Amino acid sequence: MKKPIFRGAGVAIITPYTESGINFPELGRIIEDQLKNHTDAIIIAGTTGESATMTVEEHKEAIRFTVEQVKGRVPVIAGTGSNETRIAVEFTQFAGKVGADAALVVTPYYNKCTQNGLVAHYTRIADSADIPLVLYDVPSRTGVSIKAETYAKLARHPRIAAVKEANGDISAILRLRAACGDELVLYSGNDDQIVPILSLGGQGVISVLSNVAPQATHDICQLYFDGKVQESAKLQIEYADLIDALFCEVNPIPVKVAMRKLGWAAGPLRMPLSEMEPANEAKLEQALRAHGLIQ
Exposure letters 74-103 (e unless 16+ CB within 10 A, then b): bbbbbbbbbbebeebbbbbbbbbebbbbbb
Give the active site residue among 60, 153, 164, 256. 164
What residues contact 261, with CB distance under 8 A and at least 6 apart? 284, 285, 288, 294
Q: Is-contact 107 140, C-beta < 8 A?
A: no
CA-to-CA separations, 160 to 4, 125, 176, 205, 270, in angstroms, rounded: 11, 9, 14, 18, 32
Strands 41-44, 76-79: pairing is parallel
Q: Is the dihedral of CA 220, 222, 225, 231 positive or negative?
A: negative
Beta carbons of 268 and 17 less than 8 angstroms apart? yes
* φ, ψ at 102 (rounded to 5°): -165, 170
| DSSP assignment of 108-119 | PTTT---HHHHH
Say if residues 173 and 184 touch (Cβ distance below 8 Å).
Answer: no
Task: Choose the catalytic residue: 17, 60, 122, 136.
Answer: 136
* Structural contact between residues 51 and 82, judged by C-beta atoms closer than 8 angstroms: no
Active site residue 164: yes
Burial class (CB in 10 A: 0-12, 13-18, 19+), 292: exposed
- Is there a catalytic annotation at residue 153? no
Question: Which residues are known to be catalytic?
Answer: 136, 164
